Structure 1
Amino acid sequence: MKNPLCWVILTGVAFLLIQQGLPVYSQGDSQSDNKVMDNITVRQGETVFLSCSQGDVVTHSAWLNRSSIMYAGEDKWSVDPRVSLVTLNQDEFTIKIENVDMTDEGQYICAVQTRSRATTTSVHVIVQVPPKITSLSKDIVVNEGSNVSLVCSASGKPDPSVSWKIISPAAQSLTSEDEFLEIPSVSRQRAGTYECTAMNDVATDVQTVELTVNYAPTVSDGKDVGVTLGQQGVLQCEADAVPPADFEWYRDDRRIFNGFDGIEIEDSGALSKLTFFNVSEGDYGNYTCVAINKLGSANTSVVLFEVIEPTSSTLLQGPGAVQDGNSASRAGHTSTCLLVLLALQLLLKF
């Protein structure tokens, strides 16, 4: 067959017959040889080489894919720029496909024509695709006690496995070997960063979701503070809450505002400070701190009490200035005896 185009057309017909399972015969009515090579597995984005053996008396050869002729000898029939000829000689006929994609998966046939018979070699290309998380729950904010459902879906080939785990705080132990992670009646301890992992034989894809759990304030017990008159005193109040609490200070039923009577209120995160720069008699007493957010409130009481400094006279007398009752009694008896002796001496003179 001297006309290459006619031979290519015949090769295409042969390919169709092969797909239908029918026998193929050459010009000399000799049955063709049909060989099947092992599957070729390639990852998406990589390059695949397709090669078949030639012979000394080959007249024509071609590579075909599932629907069209790719190469007929040295002539490229494919319009795909990723396809190119690597080797064509008496020993082998090799082409390559770069940047392989899912559309390249399927059967490929190398057809070789000699003077006496036609030989076809088929190979199936399997394209593996790295996993990709295609649908993921967004960061979520819920109130304590709510039911939480996190969803993570992924695509890939082979089909990826999907799993969930909490990664922050690390002390928590919460996992799921499924696309869904259900957390019934969520507590504040379950707040944190959750990680979805999609994995197959090719690679791994990881993404995270932040779970925030709102809850009402809880306030630490206040510590009473003793301050000397005229000195600086600081009362503190600490609250645990999400969202963070706002603080209010009260003296009896009267709310205290910043700058009121020389008092400063400073809030920093979970801590509030009430500062007296020059404590007066009227400042001593009981104070109430109230922590408030949209879910509730909590309070604690703190006492500012007076600390009396030792006087200078007490410091000068030292330890000897303090005597017990027996010592005082003995001193009194001694004084009485001395007075009696002096009186007797005076009477004897007269």
Structure 2
Amino acid sequence: MGVCGYFAVSRKCLVVLSLRLLFLLPAGLPVRSQGDSQSDNKVMDNITVRQGETVFLRCSQGDVVTHTAWLNRSSILYAGEDKWSVDPRVSLVVLNEEEFTIKIENVDISDEGQYICAVQTRSRPRTTSVHVIVQVPPKIINLSKDIAVNEGSNVTLMCFANGKPEPTVTWKLLSSTGLVSEDEYLEIPSITRQRAGTYECTAINEVSTDVQTVELTVNYPPSVTEGRDVGVTLGQTGVLQCEADAVPAADFEWYRDDRRLFNDLDSIEIEDNGKISTLTFYNVSEVDYGNYTCVAINKLGSANTSMVLYEVIEPTSSTLLQALSSTTEKTVFTEEMTTSLLDMTTSVIEKTASTDYAIWGGPGAVQDGNSGTMGTHTSTCLLIIIGLQFLLKF
């Protein structure tokens, strides 16, 4: 009577003692009495349920049942219609001559384990056991923070996750294709600017997937695009442009020779917009022409490029007349040369024709030593024609 005391014996205490004696379940574990058959104690297939779902525990009755109970390890959940569990998630579903079913809602990992249905019939006691497996979706519990490093540094990113079954962890750089690591740790030696970006850690198991990201920034000194010279006429607007690639973004400075330029003070406008800085001259004057230097600076270094603002002279009416006069004179000269060459060509052709007739007087004529004259005249004609074509191009 040590369990319940000598005088104050509660109803529940009596039920516990009765169940243990009736079902021979010391500490809640089933033990077959001598003479029990193997079929008296049944083991059902495991029940797999996901965390947060509801699990139903069913037990068939059969014959004439005098007592029945559902137990979890050493604790009684239900004894017949009486609820012994203080867990509000546990409730009775069905209790009749054929079935004894209870349910556990919002299942958690602590609910995993063996459950026993103990039944006492008029003939003999029997037990049915089932093992509940609780699957837990993966959850990333430890992830590297967003990080900024200098180019050339060694980088290690980590991603730890738990879940049941144990999740697989992979890393991926979103700006590229394919996985970059299939481990909780991602090692990047001597990182370059091309490896900067958003890294995605994925933890996956049979239940679901958990995804989180880390932003990796790679700092590097500025590099500038080669400056382009710009020509502007007096009184017009001139714009010089400087482009720099850097992380962190570069600050720009403009210089004329060794003197730094500022807005307002030099009748100019300097405007920075991300990677590009522009130097604008309004109503360009003679003093604005010259060499300018753009310097891009960040905490890791600097780079510069130079460019020239030079004068472009617009054509005036006098220069146009001079050009036209020169063109007219050239045209007249070309026409005279063309006429002269045509006359020379005609003369050569006529002379060649008469010579050919004298040499090739008819059948049986004999060629003399001057027969090469024909080839000479022909070559001369070709040279004249080529020269004529050359002049006509102008």
For Structure 1 versus Structure 2, the TM-score category normalised by the shorter chain is: 0.7 to 0.9
Which residue is equivalent to 1:117? 124
One-letter amino acid of the structure 2 residue matched with residue 276 of structure 1: F
Which residue is equivalent to 1:225? 230
Which residue is equivalent to 1:177? 182
Give yes or no for contact 2:112–2:132 (8 Å, CA) kept in 1.
Answer: yes
- Are 1:80 and 2:87 an aligned pair? yes
Match of 1:274 among 262, 269, 279: 279
Match of 1:243 among 245, 248, 259: 248
Which residue is equivalent to 1:302? 307
Which residue is equivalent to 2:33? 24
TM-aligned CA distance change 1:299 to 1:146, over 3 Å: same
One-letter amino acid of the structure 1 residue matched with residue 40 of structure 2: D
Name the Cα RMSD after superposition.
2.3
| Cα shift readout 1:33-74 (whole Å, capped 9, x = no counterpart) | 111100000000000000010124111100000121000111
Deviation, 1:30, is 5.9
Distance 2:334 2:61 in 1: 132
One-letter amino acid of the structure 1 residue matched with residue 25 of structure 2: F
One-letter amino acid of the structure 1 residue matched with residue 290 of structure 2: G
Q: Which structure has the higher relative contact order (CA within 8 Å, separation 6+)?
A: 1
Distance 1:264 1:51 in 2: 83
Distance 2:333 2:315 in 1: 24
Which residue is equivalent to 1:129? 136
Which residue is equivalent to 1:345? none
TM-aligned CA distance change 1:173 to 1:276, over 3 Å: farther
TM-aligned CA distance change 1:140 to 1:261, over 3 Å: same
Larger radius of gyration: 2
Give yes or no for contact 1:42–1:126 (8 Å, CA) kept in 2.
Answer: yes
One-letter amino acid of the structure 2 residue matched with residue 16 of structure 1: P
| Cα shift readout 1:320-350 (whole Å, capped 9, x = no counterpart) | 552456946999xxxxxxxxxxxxxxxxxxx
TM-score for the superposition, normalised by structure 1 = 0.86
Which residue is equivalent to 2:292? 287
- Residue aligned with 2:194, SS: helix
Deviation, 1:115, is 1.3
Give yes or no for contact 2:70–2:78 (8 Å, CA) kept in 1.
Answer: yes
TM-aligned CA distance change 1:30 to 1:131, over 3 Å: closer
| Cα shift readout 1:146-168 (whole Å, capped 9, x = no counterpart) | 0000000000001101010100x
One-letter amino acid of the structure 2 residue matched with residue 105 of structure 1: E
Which residue is equivalent to 1:64? 71
- Are 1:150 and 2:157 an aligned pair? yes
Which residue is equivalent to 1:337? none
Distance 2:245 2:62 in 1: 82
Deviation, 1:228, is 0.3
Give yes or no for contact 1:17–1:23 (8 Å, CA) kept in 2.
Answer: no
Quote the sequence identity (%). Answer: 72
One-letter amino acid of the structure 2 residue matched with residue 186 of structure 1: I
- After superposition, residues 163-202 of structure 1 pair within 5 angstroms as 163-167=170-174, 169-170=175-176, 175-202=180-207
- Residue aligned with 2:25, SS: helix
Distance 1:289 1:280 in 2: 21
TM-aligned CA distance change 1:231 to 1:17, over 3 Å: closer
One-letter amino acid of the structure 2 residue matched with residue 198 of structure 1: A
One-letter amino acid of the structure 2 residue matched with residue 24 of structure 1: S
Deviation, 1:17, is 7.1
- Residue aligned with 1:126, SS: strand
Distance 1:299 1:86 in 2: 80
Give yes or no for contact 2:28–2:74 (8 Å, CA) kept in 1.
Answer: no
Deviation, 1:116, is 1.8
Give yes or no for contact 2:27–2:74 (8 Å, CA) kept in 1.
Answer: no
Which residue is equivalent to 1:11? 19
Distance 1:114 1:44 in 2: 35
Deviation, 1:140, is 0.2
- Residue aligned with 1:278, SS: coil
| Cα shift readout 1:60-115 (whole Å, capped 9, x = no counterpart) | 10000012100011111111000000000011000000000011000000011111
TM-aligned CA distance change 1:155 to 1:329, over 3 Å: closer
- After superposition, residues 251-266 of structure 1 pair within 5 angstroms as 251-266=256-271
Q: Which has the higher helix share?
A: 2
- Residue aligned with 1:322, SS: helix
Distance 1:329 1:53 in 2: 120
Which residue is equivalent to 2:220? 215
Which residue is equivalent to 1:204? 209
Bigger mean CA deviation after superposition, 305-314 or 273-282: 305-314
TM-score for the superposition, normalised by structure 2 = 0.77
One-letter amino acid of the structure 1 residue matched with residue 105 of structure 2: E
Which residue is equivalent to 1:34? 41
Give yes or no for contact 2:25–2:31 (8 Å, CA) kept in 1.
Answer: no
Distance 2:168 2:295 in 1: 50
Deviation, 1:175, is 1.0
Question: Number of paired residues?
Answer: 323
Deviation, 1:287, is 0.5
Match of 1:234 among 196, 216, 239: 239
